[in-house]
C-alpha cells in the first residue's frame, strides 16, 4: 500500500544564490513522480531560464505575479501591490483547490518582507493547507514564525559571488 503524501511546508531562504533553483529542482522531482505542480513567481516578470524550460513541462502550471523591474521596499508601486495580492489569491486557490500536489511560492518571503503580502495572511494560508499538499516557499528573509512552523528549512549561505568582482547579470546564470 502506498503511503499518503505528507504535505510538507518547505522553506529555502538566505542571502546566497540558489533558492529558486532548489525549488525548481523540487518541482522537477515531483513532476518525475507524476505529481501535479503549481509554481508562482512573485516579484519576477522577466523571462528567466527556468520559466522558459518549465513552461514546456506537462503537469506544471506556471504563473508570474510581478514585473521585470525592482520593487521599492519603502514605497512599492501600486501595480506591484496589486500583482502580489492577485498572485497570493491565485496561490491560495491552488493550495486549497485539490488539483495540485506541490505548490511553489517563489520569492514569497521577499514579497512578505517588502509588505506586498501580509505575513499573517501567509501563515494563515499555510495553517489551512490541506493534508497531502506540499508548499515550497523561497526568498531571502523568511520570518522566524515561518521558519518555526515549516517542516524543512534550508538556508543558502552567501560566501562569494561573481557580482563582487564586477560580473554582469548573465542569461542562463542569473536569469
Q: Are 13 and 139 in contact (CB under 8 A)?
A: yes
Domains defined for the chain, CATH in brackets: 9-156 (3.40.50.300)
Interval 69-89 mean pLDDT:
93
- Calculate the CA 161 to chain-centre distance: 22
What H or E segment, with its residue span, contains residue 138? strand 134-138
3-state SS class at 18: coil
Which pLDDT band, with edges at 50, 70 and 90, does 4 fall under?
low
Interval 96-108 mean pLDDT:
97
Grid cell digits, residue 33: 513522480
- Does residue 82 register a pLDDT over 90? yes
* CA 15/CA 105 separation, integer angstroms: 17
* CA 103/CA 100 separation, integer angstroms: 7
Interval 10-31 mean pLDDT:
96
Kindly report the average pLDDT of the chain as a whole number: 92
Q: What is the pLDDT of residue 2?
A: 44
Interval 86-96 mean pLDDT:
98
Which pLDDT band, with edges at 50, 70 and 90, does 3 fall under?
low
Grid cell digits, residue 163: 557580482
Amino acid at each position: 500500500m502506498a503511503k499518503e503524501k505528507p504535505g510538507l511546508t518547505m522553506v529555502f531562504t538566505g542571502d546566497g544564490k540558489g533558492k529558486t533553483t532548489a525549488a525548481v529542482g523540487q518541482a522537477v522531482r515531483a513532476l518525475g513522480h507524476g505529481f501535479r505542480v503549481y509554481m508562482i513567481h512573485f516579484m519576477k516578470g522577466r523571462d528567466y531560464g527556468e520559466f522558459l524550460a518549465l513552461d514546456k513541462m506537462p503537469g506544471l502550471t506556471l504563473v508570474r505575479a510581478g514585473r521585470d523591474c525592482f520593487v521599492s521596499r519603502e514605497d512599492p508601486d501600486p501595480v506591484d501591490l496589486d500583482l502580489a495580492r492577485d498572485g497570493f489569491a491565485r496561490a491560495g486557490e491552488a493550495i486549497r483547490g485539490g488539483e495540485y500536489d506541490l505548490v511553489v511560492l517563489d520569492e514569497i518571503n521577499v514579497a512578505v518582507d517588502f509588505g506586498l503580502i501580509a505575513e499573517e495572511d501567509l501563515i494563515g494560508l499555510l495553517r489551512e493547507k490541506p493534508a497531502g499538499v506540499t508548499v515550497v516557499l523561497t526568498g531571502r528573509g523568511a520570518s522566524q514564525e515561518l521558519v518555526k512552523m515549516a517542516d524543512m528549512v534550508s538556508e543558502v549561505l552567501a560566501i562569494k559571488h561573481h557580482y563582487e568582482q564586477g560580473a554582469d547579470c548573465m542569461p542562463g546564470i542569473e536569469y
